[in-house]
Amino acid sequence: MAQLIEGNAVIGQSGGPTAVINQSMVGVVQGLLSEGAGSPNNPIKRILGMRHGVRGLTTDQLVDLSEKSHEELEAVAATPSAALGSTRDKPDASYCERIFHACEKHDIRYFFYIGGNDSSDTCRIVNELANKSSYELRCFHVPKTVDNDLPINDHTPGFPSAARFVATAFRVDSLDNESIPGIKINVVMGRHAGFLTAAAGLARDPSGHPDDGPHLICVPEVAFDLDAFCERVAEVYDRLGRCQIAVSEGIQDRDGQSIGAMLIQGDADAHGNVQLSGSGALGDQLSRIIKERLKPRNGNAPRVRADTLGYLQRCWPDASPIDSDEARRSGRYAAKLAASGDLDGSVAIIRTGKGYDGEAYASELDRINLEQVAAQTKHMDLEYMQGDFDISQKFRDYCGPLIGELPTFGRL
Amino acid sequence: MAQLIEGNAVIGQSGGPTAVINQSMVGVVQGLLSEGAGSPNNPIKRILGMRHGVRGLTTDQLVDLSEKSHEELEAVAATPSAALGSTRDKPDASYCERIFHACEKHDIRYFFYIGGNDSSDTCRIVNELANKSSYELRCFHVPKTVDNDLPINDHTPGFPSAARFVATAFRVDSLDNESIPGIKINVVMGRHAGFLTAAAGLARDPSGHPDDGPHLICVPEVAFDLDAFCERVAEVYDRLGRCQIAVSEGIQDRDGQSIGAMLIQGDADAHGNVQLSGSGALGDQLSRIIKERLKPRNGNAPRVRADTLGYLQRCWPDASPIDSDEARRSGRYAAKLAASGDLDGSVAIIRTGKGYDGEAYASELDRINLEQVAAQTKHMDLEYMQGDFDISQKFRDYCGPLIGELPTFGRL
């Protein structure tokens, strides 16, 4: 165990906000405080927060979190979105230089960064540069992403709450679609991984009505074939007079080309990603195509509507209880790693209790190397799918326990 | 008081579903049962439900609601969307003939129709044709619309719950927008009336942060001037580095031309309405325009995102408690009118307790003539606006008490 070096800690939030990212931030603060941070003889002095991630760190926009009351921190923990502010900046070498200068200037020796793929890579780069220089900086990454696409982690904080929103949305939207029948597309977040779109399948209560939606689930991991898709839509529509469809914003063809990018003109962010969220274009284009394809069948285009579930997926104030708990624990665990003398690392969630087949759900946290998670994207295993357009029981077993109880409904 | 005629009752749900339209349906059933319907000497015999409104009535798709258990009815009442199924059919003369034949066939003498403008007009036409013919049919309209645009009613069942969703959505989305700043448009339902869009303004907690969104609110009642709009967006963006905007799907220019219809190619429903819901086109077009207009200012287009809140607005399973209660009471009241011998009418919600300035909120129900509500559209009074882009305190007083407590959040 390395000896603790004296200095301040700083916490940042990065990437898209979630319903529970503030739980992780407060977890780090409370974890450091419970290790004695700020006490006269403790090596960890003040606990600072970066405003808008590394952007705030390099522009001296810091907030002292040591001074916040317990009540204040608990209120923030229960608040969706990133209370410190977030950023999509991806530091290059010169940016990282500025981060070091800021760390020196503010006597920062403990660096906590809460985020997803890109954010963990920022953390890794900062850590490597610190290792190469003579500046002793201990970097810890705390996982967060509604996309659920970090490796090693059974799942990532933020995902269960987003999945809860998506499943709830599909469940009520299926009732809506049943009351005024038609074809309904709901576009779900997830640029590269289909976990969140697959969660739409949990809207179907296994003990409920067999005709409940969603009737088709399209994830990026299954090559999107427009002909096969339209055929399946027509088949369901002929049988039920309606069809509810879950489409990932990240669906791609068999060459890996994004269907959304092909259909829409978007702008790219600092990471070179084309804008898929915050636009209704993919859903609208698929609507148009379905109308055109199905019209010749009986002369009338079917009623097709598309909603893009949008940013509410990541910040709806009805977090999964398991998610809130694990996000908090992840933050505390990172603080404990730092106080235990670990030099760096990322926190990973390991499932230790299945949550089905009579076994209670349980999870533990583990330290993994930053390199194991940085800039890596985990795709959804195809065993979570049954055919091209539905989830499997295995996904139901995997995801169901994470999202908490969904509202159940009566029917005539 | 007219003498009650012997026969069956039928209940239908029509138009867009809401979070509480099943409360009204169950209210009619329970109201009729408590008046003795189905008892040996009661003139009202069976209580039937139309599947998909008048469409189901004319095709013998009826369900016997008298046989449902109390538990079953209560479960359905708490369920969003229209449990009987809904329809957008607007009966013409020959359609109404078929309705009468169906009433005769099923010995229906009490006709309850839960819906909005178009639905109340259906109810009026059916009632008039019944009056002209020798068939004695008693028609009652029970109000329902998230648009809140029925005359005389202080507000309509369905609106408070939709307003609750919209206000909650803007409150969390404002936190999201604050964490990763940019320009964010959220398009809100309401073809002709701005009430639901105005409800976005309730997202701002009066005791909260003065810079919270929404920063602009655009309703159909205020002529939409693209130049003035873009100027205001730029002003807010320059000041705060972000701007959250509530836009009604029904915004129109000073000639009454729909901005949405001008920007998008939609299809029309049976009432001749252009499709505005179930598409992201209006938000996407406004995004594009804002980017183009604001780009020359510093050479870079700002980050602009648009979400269309979509069908979740009308069926999210978190109803306003006042709304659930009033929807139920409206149904019961219609049943009572029928059992009291009234020949026809519509139920109206009258506010009897302000709900602010220390006065508790209270409402009563009243019978109004079908002609007073049928096919009428109430627009939002301009006194509910302050300038062109914000709500007034008067709207806050009016709408605030209806939506129930919103989640409150901590901030650093």
The CA distance from B70 to B55, in Å, is 27
- Which residues, in sequence order, are CB contacts of B40 under 8 Å at separation 6+? none
User: Does pLDDT of B53 surpass 90?
Assistant: yes
The alpha carbons of chain B give a radius of gyration, in whole angstroms, of 23
Q: What is the pLDDT of residue A135?
A: 84
Q: Is B299 left (phi over 0), alpha (psi -120 to 50) or beta?
A: left
Q: What is the number of alpha carbons within 13 Å of residue B115 lying toward its C-beta? A: 33
- Which residues, in sequence order, are CB contacts of A227 under 8 Å at separation 6+? none
The better pLDDT of the pair B193, B208 is held by B193
Q: What is the pLDDT of residue B270?
A: 46
Nearest by CB to B175, from A79, A307, A308: name it: A79
Q: What is the pLDDT of residue A390?
A: 97
- Which residues, in sequence order, are CB contacts of A256 under 8 Å at separation 6+? none
User: Does pLDDT of A336 surpass 50?
Assistant: yes
User: Does pLDDT of A270 surpass 70?
Assistant: no
Residues A143-170: b if buried by 16+ CB within 10 A, e if exposed: bbbbbbbbbbbebbbbbbbbbbbbbbbb
Distance, first Cα to last Cα, chain B: 64
Distance from CA of A382 to the nearest CA of B (A): 30
Angle formed by the axes of helices A281-298 and A226-240, to 10°? 60
Check if the beta carbon of residue B170 is closer than 8 Å to that of residue B213.
Answer: yes
Strand ordering across the sheet containing A216-218: A216-218, A243-248, A183-188, A304-308
Distance from CA of A133 to the nearest CA of B (A): 31
The better pLDDT of the pair A204, B3 is held by A204
Check if the beta carbon of residue B359 is closer than 8 Å to that of residue B371.
Answer: no
pTM: 0.96
Structure token digits, residue A263: 């259909």
Same fold, B7-157+318-373 and B159-317+381-402: yes
Per-residue pLDDT band for A266 (boundaries 50, 70, 90) equals: very low
Per cent of chain B over pLDDT 90 is 78
The CA distance from A330 to A324, in Å, is 10
Segment B352-372 shows an average pLDDT of: 96
User: Does pLDDT of A149 surpass 90?
Assistant: yes
User: Does pLDDT of B268 surpass 50?
Assistant: no
Taking alpha carbons only, the member of A147, A190, A227, A222 closest to residue A390 is A222
Q: What is the pLDDT of residue B269?
A: 46
Per-residue pLDDT band for B2 (boundaries 50, 70, 90) equals: low
Nearest by CB to B86, from A180, A306, A308: name it: A180
Segment B126-138 shows an average pLDDT of: 86
Facing residues of A7 across strands?
Answer: A44
Do B411 and A13 count as a contact with CB atoms less than 8 A apart? Answer: no
User: Does pLDDT of A179 surpass 60?
Assistant: yes
Cβ neighbour number for residue B368 with a 10 Å cutoff? 18
The better pLDDT of the pair A268, B148 is held by B148
Check if the beta carbon of residue B149 is closer than 8 Å to that of residue B128.
Answer: no
Per-residue pLDDT band for A2 (boundaries 50, 70, 90) equals: low
Per cent of chain A over pLDDT 90 is 78
Structure token digits, residue A126: 């900062």
The alpha carbons of chain A give a radius of gyration, in whole angstroms, of 23
Could you name the CATH architecture of A7-157+318-373? 3-Layer(aba) Sandwich (3.40)
Q: Which residues from A are below 8 Å from B168, CB to CB?
A: 317
Distance from CA of B64 to the nearest CA of A (A): 10
Residue A178 near chain B (CB below 8 Å)? yes
The CA distance from B311 to B16, in Å, is 9
Cβ neighbour number for residue A239 with a 10 Å cutoff? 11
Active-site pick, A89, A118, A147, A323: A147
**Domain residue extents for chain A:** 7-157+318-373, 159-317+381-403
The yes-or-no answer on residue B323 being catalytic is: no
Per-residue pLDDT band for B119 (boundaries 50, 70, 90) equals: confident
Taking alpha carbons only, the member of B36, B33, B344, B387 closest to residue B232 is B387
User: Does pLDDT of B375 surpass 90?
Assistant: no
Segment A259-283 shows an average pLDDT of: 65
Burial environment of residue B250 by CB neighbours within 10 A (0 to 12, 13 to 18, 19 or more): buried
Taking alpha carbons only, the member of A408, A177, A406 closest to residue B71 is A408
Active-site pick, B89, B118, B121, B147: B147
Distance from CA of B407 to the nearest CA of A (A): 8
Give the amino acid at B376.
Q
DSSP helix/strand/coil, A162 = helix
CATH no. for B159-317+381-402: 3.40.50.460
The CA distance from A385 to A391, in Å, is 4
Structure token digits, residue A199: 């969660």
Q: What is the pLDDT of residue B90?
A: 84
Segment B144-152 shows an average pLDDT of: 96
Highest mean pLDDT out of A220-224, A270-274, A340-344, B281-285: A220-224
Overall size of chain A counted in residues: 412
B168-B171-B175 Cα angle (round to 5): 140
Segment B396-412 shows an average pLDDT of: 96
Superfamily classification of domain A159-317+381-403: Phosphofructokinase domain (3.40.50.460)
Search chain A and give the residue with CA nearest B268: A303
Q: What is the pLDDT of residue A267?
A: 45
Q: What is the pLDDT of residue A92?
A: 82
Do B179 and A280 count as a contact with CB atoms less than 8 A apart? Answer: no
Segment A206-226 shows an average pLDDT of: 93
Cβ neighbour number for residue B230 with a 10 Å cutoff? 16
Q: What is the pLDDT of residue A8?
A: 97
Residue A214 near chain B (CB below 8 Å)? no
Give the A window 30-59 contacts with B, CB below 8 Å: 49, 52
Give the A window 243-302 contacts with B, CB below 8 Å: 267, 275, 277-281, 283-284, 287, 291, 301
Segment A322-346 shows an average pLDDT of: 96
Do A312 and B85 count as a contact with CB atoms less than 8 A apart? Answer: no
Distance from CA of A108 to the nearest CA of B (A): 20
Segment A48-72 shows an average pLDDT of: 96
Segment A252-271 shows an average pLDDT of: 72
In A71-126, where do the E strands start and end?
108-115
Check if the beta carbon of residue B82 is closer than 8 Å to that of residue B21.
Answer: yes
Q: What is the pLDDT of residue A274?
A: 54
The CA distance from A77 to B103, in Å, is 58
Residue B307 near chain A (CB below 8 Å)? yes
Per-residue pLDDT band for B266 (boundaries 50, 70, 90) equals: very low
Q: What is the pLDDT of residue B209?
A: 86
Note the maximum CA span of chain B: 81
Search chain B and give the residue with CA nearest A25: B412
Give the A window 318-337 contacts with B, CB below 8 Å: 318
User: Does pLDDT of A145 surpass 80?
Assistant: yes
Sort strands B44-50 and B62-64 into parallel, antiparallel or unpaired. antiparallel
Residue A176 near chain B (CB below 8 Å)? yes
- Which residues, in sequence order, are CB contacts of A112 under 8 Å at separation 6+? A9, A10, A11, A12, A28, A140, A142, A331, A334, A335, A338
Segment B330-340 shows an average pLDDT of: 97
Q: How far is CA B342 from the centre of its chain?
A: 26
DSSP helix/strand/coil, B138 = strand
Mean pLDDT of chain B: 92
CA-CA-CA-CA torsion sign (A147, A152, A155, A156): negative
Mutate to test the interface with A, among B59, B76, B184, B312 (most CBs of A within 10 A): B312
Q: pLDDT by residue (tens digit) across A387-398?
A: 999 999 999 999
Nearest by CB to A172, from B75, B77, B315: name it: B315
Taking alpha carbons only, the member of A18, A17, A78, A87 closest to residue A50 is A87
Check if the beta carbon of residue B188 is closer than 8 Å to that of residue B170.
Answer: no
Check if the beta carbon of residue B180 is closer than 8 Å to that of residue A322.
Answer: no
Segment B169-186 shows an average pLDDT of: 97
Search chain B and give the residue with CA nearest A183: B278
Segment B258-270 shows an average pLDDT of: 65
Long-range contact set of residues B229-235: C-beta below 8 Å, sequence gap at least 24: B229/B389, B230/B289, B230/B290, B230/B293, B230/B294, B232/B389, B233/B183, B233/B290, B233/B294, B234/B293, B234/B294, B234/B297
Out of A251-265, B150-164, B266-280, least confident range: B266-280
User: Does pLDDT of B11 surpass 50?
Assistant: yes
The better pLDDT of the pair A97, B243 is held by B243
The CA distance from A126 to B334, in Å, is 69
Check if the beta carbon of residue A196 is closer than 8 Å to that of residue A276.
Answer: no
Q: Is A46 left (phi over 0), alpha (psi -120 to 50) or beta?
A: beta
Check if the beta carbon of residue A9 is closer than 8 Å to that of residue A32.
Answer: yes
Q: What is the pLDDT of residue B275?
A: 60
Out of A261-275, A311-325, B103-117, B164-178, least confident range: A261-275
Q: pLDDT by residue (tens digit) across A101-138?
A: 899 899 999 999 999 988 888 888 888 888 888 789 99
Element (H, E) at B62: strand B62-64
DSSP helix/strand/coil, A340 = coil
Check if the beta carbon of residue B49 is closer than 8 Å to that of residue B25.
Answer: yes
Check if the beta carbon of residue A69 is closer than 8 Å to that of residue A30.
Answer: no
